[in-house]
């Protein structure tokens, strides 16, 4: 594209220069010729008054000498009254041409060796026609023409070079953004998801760069969503895997029991590998729109019905409070259930058998708080636990469970905090904002407009199943 623009500019400018310079050069040559013959006419006109008064040779020679160079001027007087014709100066023109001018009575030019001559007829007092001959050398006819043509050629060359330079700069301005767009597309095709194109250059290429960057961002977003979905789905598999692991531990001894436990451990390791492989940063899930969401109390009762059976098998005491009446929250039912399963699964995975736990729901005017607490050893580094992928690796944790909970809370404008529970272990507080706005900067903990419910006993609105659902 760049060289094409240069070639087009070169061709167009060359044609324009030729179209103007050639006629202008011819005009300059004609002007120089006209100037030379005009000077010759003035010299011839200076002789005419003297010829009309006298034809004396001596006097005419003095007049010719005063009017110009006698080597370039000649006067031809015809014979009169039986006298001889008189020629003053050097004659260069043929006699036939002089006779023709005398006969026609008007000025004429003729070509002679070394230049041209101007033949000017002048009427004498006797009625005869004398002819004044002025020699115009070729050097005088072309005086200044070569210099003018050289100037024209220089100006034309400068115009051509300038147009080529401007076309080259314009081509670079167009080619560079196009080249960057090509390189960005190539890098994106090679898997470099961070490839972006600077949004500069002509309007069309700038719009193309904007569209390319938007497409690249969308590709990255889709890939991140797919990886996150794979990680979330894989993490949800850990809930039934926890049940299988606990049930396998109660099978006793024997080859079948050992094989079952080994298979469960292998499956759990594979799920953890999938989670670690698919785990990537993902934009926060959009909060549910107005009128959507779920009943948090119903979800808590449903999930506690599931986990209570495992708790009874392990001899764990558990408690639910605040789930005896509907509590609407602006999140999807499956997302809230996954968050609760992640927290309760962590309790069963990271605390010893017989460790008590509790789930409390607090309903406020502008927020709902869900507390999951246990009587275990606690979390020594809550900030590291909340950081994605920085969960303790010694116990097999992927660190994704708390991240699922965090994204759920932040999608409503809330947050997640880890602290010490009244049971002596860890307390995870999930703050779900009801109006979708960010929390006030001065708000801390779960105080303020949130109304605490009186610590409740075991909610009798559901039956604890003996067998797993």
List, for residues 5-14, the tens digit of each pLDDT value: 778 888 888 8
Per the domain annotation, does 162 fall within a domain? no
Residues 213 and 127 in one domain: no
pLDDT of residue 198: 86
Specify the number of domains making up the chain.
Answer: 3
Q: Is the pLDDT of residue 374 over 90?
A: yes
Could you give the percent of the chain with pLDDT greater than 90? 12
Residues 24 and 41 in one domain: yes
**Do residues 184 and 212 make contact, with C-beta atoms less than 8 angstroms apart?**
yes
Q: Where is the domain boundary, 226, 251, 283? A: 283
Strand partners, 430: 370, 416
Per the domain annotation, does 176 fall within a domain? no
Residues 6+ apart with CB under 8 A from 165: none
Per the domain annotation, does 179 fall within a domain? no
Residues 269 and 373 in one domain: no
Strand partners, 74: 133
Pick the more confident residue, 239 or 95: 95
pLDDT of residue 33: 86
Per the domain annotation, does 19 fall within a domain? yes
Per the domain annotation, does 154 fall within a domain? no
**Do residues 318 and 357 make contact, with C-beta atoms less than 8 angstroms apart?**
yes
Residues 257 and 129 in one domain: no
Residues 58 and 100 in one domain: yes
- CATH code (residue 254): 1.10.287.130
Q: Where is the domain boundary, 232, 256, 283? A: 283
Residues 238 and 251 in one domain: yes
Q: Taking the complete model, does pTM exceed 0.85, yes or no?
A: no
**pLDDT grade, residue 279 (50/70/90)?**
low
pLDDT tens digits along 85-135: 777 877 888 888 888 888 888 888 888 888 888 888 888 777 778 888 888
Residues 227 and 335 in one domain: no
Per the domain annotation, does 99 fall within a domain? yes
Structural domain boundaries, residue 242: 201-283
3-state secondary structure the chain: CHHHHHHHHHHHHHHHHHHHHHHHHHHHHHHHHHHHHHHHHHHHHHHHHHHHHCCCHHHHHHHHHHHCCCCCEEEEECCCCCCCCEEECCCCCCHHHHHHHHHHCCCEEEEECCEEEEEEEEECCCCCEEEEEEEEEHHHHCCCHHHHHHHHHHHHHHHHHHHHHHHHHHHHHHHHHHHHHHHHHHHHHCCCCCCCCCCCCCHHHHHHHHHHHHHHHHHHHHHHHHHHHHHHHHHHCHHHHHHHHHHHHCCCCCHHHHHHHHHHHHHHHHHHHHHHHHCCCCCCCCCCCCCCCEEHHHHHHHHHHHHHHHHHHHCCCEEEECCCCCCEECCCHHHHHHHHHHHHHHHHHHCCCCCCEEEEEEEECCEEEEEEEECCCCCCCHHHHHCCCCCCCCCCCCCHHHHHHHHHHHCCCCEEEEEECCCCCEEEEEEEECCCCCCCCCCCCCCCCECCCCCCCCCCCCCCCCCCC
Per the domain annotation, does 354 fall within a domain? yes
pLDDT of residue 56: 73
pLDDT of residue 67: 64
Per the domain annotation, does 182 fall within a domain? no
Tokens representing residue 436 in the block: 């979708």
pLDDT of residue 283: 41
Residues 6+ apart with CB under 8 A from 386: 402, 403, 406, 416, 418
CA-nearest of 282, 291, 454 to 363 is: 454
């Amino acid at each position: 594209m760049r060289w094409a623009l240069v070639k087009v500019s070169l061709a167009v400018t060359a044609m324009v220069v030729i179209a103007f310079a050639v006629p202008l050069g011819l005009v300059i040559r004609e002007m120089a010729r006209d100037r030379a013959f005009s000077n010759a006419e003035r010299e011839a006109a200076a002789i005419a008054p003297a010829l009309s008064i006298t034809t004396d040779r001596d006097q005419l020679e003095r007049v010719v000498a005063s009017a110009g160079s006698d080597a370039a001027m000649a006067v031809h007087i015809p014979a009169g009254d039986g006298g001889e014709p008189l020629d003053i100066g050097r004659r260069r023109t043929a006699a036939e041409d002089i006779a023709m001018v005398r006969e026609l009575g008007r000025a004429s030019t003729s070509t002679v060796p070394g230049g041209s001559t101007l033949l000017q007829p002048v009427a004498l007092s006797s009625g005869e026609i004398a002819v004044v001959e002025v020699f115009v050398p070729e050097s005088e006819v072309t005086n200044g023409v070569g210099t003018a043509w050289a100037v024209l050629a220089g100006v034309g060359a400068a115009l051509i070079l300038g147009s080529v330079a401007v076309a080259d700069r314009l081509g670079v301005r167009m080619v560079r953004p196009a080249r960057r767009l090509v390189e960005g597309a190539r890098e994106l095709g090679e898997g470099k998801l961070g490839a972006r194109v600077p949004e500069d250059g002509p309007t069309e290429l700038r719009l193309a760069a904007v569209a390319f960057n938007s497409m690249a961002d969308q590709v990255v977003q889709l890939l991140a969503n797919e990886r996150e979905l794979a990680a979330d789905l894989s993490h949800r598999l850990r809930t039934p895997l926890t049940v299988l692991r606990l049930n396998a531990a109660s099978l006793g001894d024997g080859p079948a029991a050992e094989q079952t436990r080994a298979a469960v451990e292998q499956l759990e390791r594979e799920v953890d590998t999938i989670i670690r492989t698919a785990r990537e940063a993902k934009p926060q899930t959009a909060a549910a729109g107005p009128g959507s969401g779920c009943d948090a109390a119903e979800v808590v009762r449903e999930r506690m019905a599931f986990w209570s059976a495992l708790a009874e098998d392990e001899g764990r005491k558990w408690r639910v409070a605040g789930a005896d009446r509907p509590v609407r929250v602006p999140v999807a039912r499956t997302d809230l259930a996954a968050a609760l399963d992640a927290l309760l699964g962590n309790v069963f995975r990271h605390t010893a058998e017989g460790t008590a736990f509790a789930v409390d729901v607090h309903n406020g005017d502008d927020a709902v708080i869900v507390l999951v607490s246990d009587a275990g050893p606690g979390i020594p580094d809550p900030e590291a636990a909340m950081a994605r992928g920085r969960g303790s690796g010694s116990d097999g944790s992927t660190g994704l469970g708390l991240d699922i909970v965090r994204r759920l809370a932040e999608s409503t404008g809330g947050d997640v905090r880890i602290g010490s529970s009244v049971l002596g272990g860890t307390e995870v507080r999930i703050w779900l904002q009801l109006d979708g706005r960010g929390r006030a900067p001065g708000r801390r903990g779960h105080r303020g407009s949130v109304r605490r419910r009186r610590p409740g006993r075991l909610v009798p609105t559901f039956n604890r199943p003996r067998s797993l659902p």
